[in-house]
Amino acid sequence: MSFLTKIRRKTPNEFFLIPGLIGLGIFVFAICYSIYMSFYRYKLGFMQPNYVGLTNYSMLLHDPVFTTAVKNTLFFVAIASTSELLYGIFLAVLLYWSNKRYLFIPFLIVPMILPAVNLVVIWRFLFHPDYGFVNQILTSIGLSAINPLNNPKWAMPTIILMDIWQMTPFVMIIVLAGLSTVPPEVLTAARIDGARKFQLTLKILLPMTKNVILAVFLLRLIDAFRIFAKVYLLTRGGPGVATETIELQIYNRALRGLEIGLGSTMSVIFILISLVVIIPYTIMVLKNWRR
Amino acid sequence: MASLINVFLIVVLLTVLVPLGVLVMISLLPPGEWSIPPKSPTLDNFVYVFKEFRFYRNMLNTFLFIGLAILISLVLALPTAYAIARLQIKYYVWVFTVVLVILVKSLPPGSLLVPVYELLWKLRLTNTVLGVALSYQVYTLPFVIWILTSFLLDLPREVETAARIDGAGRFARLRHIIFPLSIPGIISAVILGFLNLWNEYMYSSVIVSSRNLQTAAVVLGQLVTSEYVYDWGILASANIISVLPAIFFVSFVQKNISKAITGGIKG
Amino acid sequence: MSSKSFVEIIDIHKSYGKLVVLEGVNFDVRKGEFIVILGPSGEGKTTLLNIIAGVIRPDKGKVIIDGQVVDDSSNIYIPPERRDVGYVFQNYALYPHMTAFDNIAFPLKMKKLPRDEIEQRVEKIAKLLKIDHVLHHKPSQLSGGQQQRVAVARAIVKEPKLLLMDEPFSNIDPALRASVRLELRLLLKSLGITSIMATHDQEEAMTLADRLLILRRGKPIQIGSPMEVYEKPSDKFVAEFVGGMNILELKSEYSSLLREYRVEGEDVSVKFMGFRPESVIISNEGLEAEVLDAEYKGDKWTIIAQIRSGEIIRFYNKDPVNTKSTVYIKPTKIYLFSSEGKTVKILTINK
Ligand SMILES: Nc1ncnc2c1ncn2[C@@H]1O[C@H](COP(=O)(O)OP(=O)(O)O)[C@@H](O)[C@H]1O
Ligand SMILES: [Mg+2]
């Protein structure tokens, strides 16, 4: 038996985890490093780290811009993912009952694959105050022009609308796949008419798909924290601080300013907030993967 | 009833198609015009984007970064996913690994931007292809492990058992059985990874500052965020060009795309 | 165990949680012997084969192959990849991404044999199994029978010490089964391969086995040649499962019948009586039965009849019998079982 064979046989199964664990380990190290640095004032390339205790935290928690960013992020996550879930389920059910669904699906999922920049171009053009498509239509039917992207009250809803337009197909396609796994025998018994379809949907189809729906909701919640490109490109956080988010704060204030200490503190706060949705999702995966 | 449903779906379809149609029509606008539909449509914008603007360079950069990032991830992920899905591992090690995968996969990438940037800066890897590909691991590594693990968990075990009987150890099984049988899973990982990263703006813009390494998304982002009126026709045609690879990918695997997406979700 | 035994299975126990699957399995296999494990589905046949192959480990017990302890359910464990056994899986488990040739060549490739030797051996075995014309096909392009042959070829090409087969004929067209079975038995015998096969099909087991092992509630309730098992079933279950014996609960009505066999009332432990369909003759005295149906079986008829106590019995007759008619039947050989089902006595009478 060759020396190599001996070594191979001796390696424990855990050895196979190492490549992935090393990669992931770097990110875990990064998180730990962030926690450590969150107690320092540290400007990359300009000054040495300087221990300041909880100063960064108390500063951020009293910082009106940062607290607004936190609120905006939570608002976006809650409203966007809930709307996408409900609208996506609705569309999935429509498609499920449609005899022409294979004609609709390829077109309906296009927004999902568009890069954020494309969406932003479309949205900015649609809502451009002077020559935007929406205003062209509004003025042509005698209504007054609008400028939602420049309106503190309407900027965030416009971004949410954009996210709904893009990400609802994701919910739709996964819920539809879930609905399709409901065995047809369960449904064929009933004669199909309008009222029946409605009841079958509410009483049989959706309850039998609830695990998939829960999974897709958790995924949307987690993903909704990642809106950076859309917000940054569409409004840059404005007007004022109306669409400021945590990601934007980290990017603009910390990174552009090379404020590693402050940025680390923001990251730690961001991680703590997102753990609220990550933990249930992790538990779900652990259960599903259990061999 | 069925026709009512279809009518409703057509309305939904319009809400999707009209904005897309608007984008196409913008791309046909000559400079200075912005009426929809265009009065004098032209393809000059596309020609300009290719010839003068040299946009294809940025697209090549994007391809290069993403390709390298996914390649690195696949190499690291395959043995790991294999061990998570198939091998007998101490339970606490298994839980620890899965939690780590899901945690890193789910963390907002923004929360890792600061330390990752600082690390790459210290390693003098900012503004390099490798640096960008390494920073993309935030997205691709846990994602690829996740997809491959879900895929391997669904693969029938008996084929691997047969290979054990035939004398194949873990390494031989990974190479001769698991890897070739994972190819559909690897393809979904590549496609979804591409779709996801084609979009990437945050890391791409921070890690790269030199012009000739910028990604398509970053260049477009700079155009679209510039305050003064830029030429909308050029902007839109560059956008359309940039999305073509994604469309190509999706139509290439149109039947499998929902399978690829849902294949991952069971996890 | 005798020194002649080549494989020894010693006191194997296996449970899945609360479900006890194997509870003390003991047997041995001689070199070149063909053992068939017979039992209804869910009795643990696959589990037992997997333990012998090393795919799963027993909770307790020992497996010895060719004098080497391959699993003692504690420290010693030789994994399947180093046990040198062949295994034909129930669904074959062919490698879907490889051609038939590569499937068969895989075990040799793992042994790092030179390429031309691999080619020679694969072609030789493929000829023996008559699949040499489909070697370049992928499994999905093969018929069920061809897939089975590829699976067999892959299992025996490396000339393993021991061949395991799990219901290898269950996916074969029933019309072809008999001939495929015979060919396989002849091939294995001519190569001298020691084999253990699992099946739930008693007819298959009877025609193939040198010795049968009947698995029931986690234990082998009988081990013996097909003839021994048929002639002297160890209990009521074996009697019924192998050869389909008629079993009747003993009631006073049959005492006259039993008296002919000189079974007297003193044998209180006897609870059941059984007789084989082929041991029945129609006469003008004996058990009264009303004929329900007669099925044509080529050389004979199967008569299905109901006796007075309401139980249904079946027996064979050279000629058909009218339905609804009443016949008197007499078994030439009866089996008596205790209340636990153990065989207590086997009695024959002369007509
Ligand atoms: N991995 C397992 N986990 C739990 N129960 C199992 C497992 N494998 C088999 N069983 C159970 O063990 C019993 C025996 O299974 P098996 O060996 O496949 O029987 P057979 O091959 O005789 O049909 C069955 O009841 C089966 O459900
Ligand atoms: Mg079985």
Q: Using CA atoms, how far apart are residues A22 and C302, in angstroms rounded to an integer?
A: 72
Among B170-184, C1-15, C20-34, the least confident range: C1-15
pLDDT > 90? residue B256 = no
Residue where the block lists tokens 């895929």: B151
- In DSSP terms, A41 is beta-bridged to A50
pLDDT score at C253: 58
Please choose, from the candidates B203, B173, B212, the residue with its C-alpha nearest in 3D space to the C-alpha of residue B69. B203
Q: Quote the domain boundaries for residue A236.
A: 56-290
Mean pLDDT computed over C1-16? 84
Give the percent of chain C with pLDDT over 70: 93
How many other CB atoms are found less than 10 A from the CB of residue B51?
Answer: 10
Q: Report the residue of chain C nearest B167, measured CA to CA.
A: C81
The pLDDT tens digits for A152-175 are 888 899 999 999 999 999 899 889
Please choose, from the candidates A270, A277, A267, the residue with its C-alpha nearest in 3D space to the C-alpha of residue A30. A267
Domain assignment present for residue A15? The answer is no
Domain assignment present for residue A49? The answer is no
Report the interhelical angle of B137-154 vs B55-86 (nearest 10°). 40
Please choose, from the candidates A252, A227, A253, A264, the residue with its C-alpha nearest in 3D space to the C-alpha of residue B118. A264
Q: Give the list of residues 6+ apart from residue C329 with CB closer than 8 angstroms, or none.
A: C280, C281, C282, C283, C286, C287, C289, C305, C315
Q: Using CA atoms, how far apart are residues B151 and A173, in angstroms rounded to an integer?
A: 19
Task: For residue C90, give the ligand nearest its CA.
Answer: 2
Both B64 and B30 in one domain: the answer is no
Confidence tier at C258 by pLDDT (50, 70, 90): low
pLDDT > 50? residue A105 = yes
Q: Pairing mode, if any, of strands C326-331 and C312-317?
A: unpaired
Residues of A in contact with B137 (CB under 8 A): 23, 26-27
Both B49 and B126 in one domain: the answer is yes
CB contact under 8 A, B113 and A24: no
Q: What is the largest CA-CA distance in chain A?
A: 89
Q: Report the residue of chain C nearest B169, measured CA to CA.
A: C81
Number of independent structural domains in chain B: 2
Residues whose beta carbon lies within 6 Å of some atom of ligand 1: C 16, 19, 21, 39, 41-47
- B/e letters for B3-15, b = 16+ CB within 10 Å, e = fewer, are eebbeebeebeee
Better-predicted residue by pLDDT, C209 or A101:
C209
Domain assignment present for residue A211? The answer is yes
Please choose, from the candidates C286, C217, C279, the residue with its C-alpha nearest in 3D space to the C-alpha of residue C244. C279
Both B252 and B130 in one domain: the answer is yes
pLDDT > 60? residue C260 = no
Q: Using CA atoms, how far apart are residues B197 and B213, in angstroms rounded to an integer?
A: 16
Q: Using CA atoms, how far apart are residues B207 and B112, in angstroms rounded to an integer?
A: 13
pLDDT > 50? residue C1 = no
Give the Å distance between the CA of C48 and the centre of ligand 1: 10
Mean pLDDT computed over C108-123? 94
Give the Å distance between the CA of C58 and the centre of ligand 1: 13
Q: What is the CATH number of the domain that holds B252?
A: 1.10.3720.10
Q: Using CA atoms, how far apart are residues C81 and B170, in angstroms rounded to an integer?
A: 9
Q: What residue ranges define each of the domains in chain C, with the CATH number in brackets?
A: 5-237 (3.40.50.300), 246-348 (2.40.50.140)
What is chain B's mean pLDDT, rounded? Answer: 85
pLDDT score at A97: 87
Q: From C16, C41, C202, give the residue whose CB has the most ligand 1 atoms within 8 Å, as the site to mutate.
A: C16
Number of independent structural domains in chain A: 1
CB distance A225 to A73 below 8 Å: yes
pLDDT score at B229: 53
Give the Å distance between the CA of C48 and the centre of ligand 2: 9
Residues of B in contact with C111 (CB under 8 A): 167
Q: What share of chain C is helix, strand, coil (3-state, %, to 5)?
A: 30, 35, 35
For C318, phi then psi, to 5°, come to: -65, -35
Both B139 and B208 in one domain: the answer is yes
Q: Using CA atoms, how far apart are residues C309 and C197, in angstroms rounded to an integer?
A: 40
**Which member of B99, B201, B246 has the closest CB to residue A229?**
B201
Q: Which helix (H) or strand (E) holds B44?
A: helix B44-51
Token pair for residue B133?
């590909």
Residues of C in contact with B181 (CB under 8 A): 96-97
Q: What is the CATH number of the domain that holds A172?
A: 1.10.3720.10
Q: Does the beta carbon of C140 lie under 8 angstroms from any beta carbon of chain B?
A: no
Both B26 and B139 in one domain: the answer is no
What is chain A's mean pLDDT, rounded? Answer: 86
**Which member of B111, B246, B261 has the closest CB to residue A173?**
B261
**Distance (Å) from the alpha carbon of B184 to chain C's nearest alpha carbon:** 12
- B/e letters for C29-52, b = 16+ CB within 10 Å, e = fewer, are beeebbbbbbbeeebbbbbbbbbb
pLDDT score at B173: 93
Both B55 and B181 in one domain: the answer is yes
Q: Quote the domain boundaries for residue B88.
A: 45-266
Domain assignment present for residue A43? The answer is no
- In DSSP terms, C29 is beta-bridged to C7
Report, in angstroms and rounded to the nearest whole number, the Rg of chain B calculated over CA atoms.
Answer: 22
The pLDDT tens digits for C134-181 are 999 999 999 989 999 999 999 999 999 999 999 998 888 888 888 888
Beta-carbon-side half-sphere exposure of residue C105 (alpha carbons within 13 Å) = 20
Is the link from the previous residue into A207 a cis peptide, with omega within 30 of 0?
A: no
The pLDDT tens digits for A241-255 are 888 888 888 888 887
The pLDDT tens digits for B192-242 are 888 888 878 889 988 988 888 888 888 888 877 765 556 778 888 888 888
Q: Give the list of residues 6+ apart from residue C94 with CB closer than 8 angstroms, or none.
A: B159, B162, C103, C139, C147, C150, C151, C154
Q: In what order do the strands lie in the sheet with C280-283?
A: C280-283, C326-331, C287-296, C301-307, C312-317
Confidence tier at B267 by pLDDT (50, 70, 90): very low
Both B31 and B113 in one domain: the answer is no
pLDDT > 80? residue A227 = yes
